[in-house]
Amino acid sequence: MTAASVIDLLDLDRADTEALLAGWGLKPFHGRNLFKWIHKHGVDDFDAMTDLSRALRERLAQETRIGIPRMVAEQPSADGTVKWVLELADGQRVETVHIPEDKRRTLCVSSQVGCALDCRFCATARQGFNRNLTTAEIIGQVWFASRRLGPMPTNVVMMGMGEPLANFDAVVKAMGMMQDDFGYMLAKQRVTLSTSGVVPNIHRLAQVSDVSLAVSLHAPDNALRDQLVPINRKYPLEELIPACRAYLRGDRRRRITWEYVMLDGVNDSDRHAKSLIRLLEGTPSKVNLIPFNPFPGSGFGTSPPERVEAFRLRLLRSGLVTTTRKTRGDEIAAACGQLVGRVQDRSRRTLPVSLQQH
């Protein structure tokens, strides 16, 4: 059997695993047990799966594998954040971050090697883009972290390297595995997908998933967002905001989280706050203000703390739930917008010039 024909079991959700073993003439519960061993118990040694028959374990060892990414670096931060650099089978590398806080254990997971969306303030975008991750490579990050840490994460955010909705099928399948009761048992509100605004796939997501939705907004009008988040030129705010409202399906208990990186002198004035209030009127929202995490050559500065606080209070007075994200892991380049991995860029784009002050 060639390496290419060996089945990576991390690519299979529970239904796929049951179907695989059904094709081998076995009952569905054997597939459920196998899925549970891998994902709920974190076992990658077939011999340790003691309620599977010896014949099945031998066949699994011959025809399948559990393709866990290889850790090449582990960087702990003073605040408890840990960043792992994980190498994939083809030598590409992605980064996964664990952020502990009180009783929460949040895992930030990558969906692509690099990112093609070219957001001006993001270090990942500066690395270019190589390819989408497979379902196995996405869920493999969760498997690795759960095994490395001991307890499973309480929350997973698809906010690592890449645009999750540009890798729709693999991401949706992996998120389903995260929620599976025989897998990682995460409730829908504890899995969050963050998008820069791929509007058609927000509509698609609403048809197949009910995970929490976060949107990288960063500007209250099209003119500025066109520069900061170039995908806005294709899917402007007039399309993005209604798509997000529709995603909530009228459920008043749910909100869209709007991520807003605070860039000194660019998007942080009172005028911008007023425009943001008008933009989000009528949309159940939570605004997450994110102090910019500098990186070499970004061309941006971080809004002063007093400016961030004034912006936050302006939004709060309007009735918008607003928080300022505590920067975590910035000294190990694990904070928002800092993940870079190792990317062999295939996008052939030129690097952006610094944005003019707006």
Q: Which residues are catalytic?
A: 95, 336
User: CA-CA distance, 288 to 62, in Å (whole number)?
Assistant: 48
Under 8 Å between Cβ of 300 and 338: no
Give kind and range of the element (H or E) at residue 1: none
β-strand partners of 65: 8
Alpha helices in 127-236 (DSSP H): 135-149, 168-179, 199-208, 222-228
In a 3-state reduction of DSSP, which class is residue 57?
Answer: helix
Long-range contacts of 206-211 (CB under 8 A, 24+ apart): 206/246, 206/247, 206/249, 208/172, 209/172, 209/175, 209/176, 211/175, 211/179
User: CA-CA distance, 348 to 356, in Å (whole number)?
Assistant: 24
Amino acid letter for position 137:
E
315, with CB counted inside 10 A (0-12, 13-18, 19+), is buried
In a 3-state reduction of DSSP, which class is residue 92?
Answer: coil
Number of neighbouring beta carbons within 10 Å of residue 32: 17
User: CA-CA distance, 233 to 227, in Å (whole number)?
Assistant: 9
User: CA-CA distance, 151 to 162, in Å (whole number)?
Assistant: 26
Measure CA 264 to chain center: 26
The DSSP output letter for 281 is: T
